[in-house]
């Protein structure tokens, strides 16, 4: 059984990898950050389609949060001062705005600095 949360991200995406490395250096979330490509996703209760679509926060009990809420959970886990914006991101209307901003960034990550062709997200059916 896992004792720490896991942040699952796209290890083929330069933007995602750079963002996770920055978060670990500066924010220091209390989690293991792992690229989905190296995981047995079934063991984490997530599909490849979802892992390709958004970052995922998986608690030790198996609860999964995606996208902006995964970011909020990572911020909350880091403690002060990062827990304040993390908590705010869980509350409406900021939660709604964060969801929209996350989708905008994720859907366009192939256009951002550090990205590669692997960063392009396929539209969900």
Across the chain, which has 125 residues, the per-10-residue mean pLDDT values are 93 90 96 97 96 96 98 98 98 97 90 69 56
What is the number of structural domains in the chain? 1
pLDDT at 124: 56
pLDDT at 36: 97
pLDDT at 14: 86
Torsion of CA 16, 34, 65, 31, to 10 degrees: -110
1 located within any domain: no
Q: In the chain, which ranges are continuous DSSP H helix?
A: 14-22, 41-44, 48-53, 68-78, 83-88, 94-107
59 located within any domain: yes
119 located within any domain: no
pTM of full prediction above 0.85: yes
122 located within any domain: no
Instruction: Determine the structural domain holding residue 39 and report its residue range.
Output: 6-113
121 located within any domain: no
Report the C-alpha gap between 103 and 124 in whole angstroms. Answer: 12
């Amino acid at each position: 059984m896992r004792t720490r949360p896991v942040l699952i991200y796209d290890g083929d995406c330069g933007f995602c990898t750079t963002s996770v490395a920055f978060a670990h250096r500066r924010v220091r979330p209390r989690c293991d950050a792992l690229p989905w490509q190296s995981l047995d996703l079934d063991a984490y209760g997530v599909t490849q389609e979802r892992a390709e679509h958004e970052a995922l926060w998986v608690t030790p009990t198996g609860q999964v949060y995606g996208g902006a809420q995964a970011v909020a959970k990572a911020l909350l886990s880091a403690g002060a001062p990062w827990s304040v914006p993390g908590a705010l991101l869980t509350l409406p209307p900021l939660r709604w705005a964060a969801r929209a901003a996350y989708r905008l960034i994720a859907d366009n990550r192939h256009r951002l600095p550090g990205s590669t062709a692997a960063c392009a997200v396929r539209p969900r059916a």
